[in-house]
Amino acid sequence: MNFEQLKPEVSYIIAKKNFSTDQRLLSICELLEQHIDYYNWVGFYFRNGDKEELKLGPYVGEPTDHTIIPFGKGICGQVAVSNKNFVVPDVNAQDNYIACSITVKAEIVIPIFVNGENIGQIDIDSNTPDPFTEEDERFLEFVCKKVSEMIS
């Protein structure tokens, strides 16, 4: 499936009111990981209450020890501060990268906004060097917009 084919699937998952927020987020993770071959780890991080840190939400992929990430640390922590998309074509070239797995070669993180506030993000790791394009960014912005509508 390409991104345009996945959009209605994402909308369908979001619309499932009989499922909890976490169930719907996990379903989105599963959908993306199954249908985009270079999405090897897909997960959500959300602001942990009033703390200056992110807490891991639903995800699919290898287990991670990074369940809490302080603002500013790693790619996710930097996005929590900058409020901007962050595409990393080569994680080994990043000074402030938190390694989750030696197989990860690239990462993309897109923030989720509710009422103009950055409340979390989608984080995707790839075992493929430099796989992410502007199309990935636009598609993941769509996903984050749908998630924000579900949460708000």
Domain CATH number, residue 9:
3.30.450.40
pLDDT of residue 95: 73
Domain count for the chain: 1
105: containing domain: 3-151
Torsions phi, psi for 27 (to 5 deg): -60, -40
pLDDT score, position 1: 84
Residues of the chain with pLDDT under 70: 99-100
> Which has the closest alpha carbon to 98: 120, 78, 127, 118?
78
State both tokens at 17.
């009111």
pLDDT value at residue 92: 85
The answer to whether 106 and 90 are in contact (CB under 8 A) is yes
What is this structure's pTM?
0.96
Vertex 81, ends 145 and 57: CA angle to 5°?
Answer: 55
Give the separation between CA 63 and CA 12, rounded to whole angstroms.
Answer: 27
What pLDDT shows up at residue 29? Answer: 98
Paired with 86 in beta bridges are 109
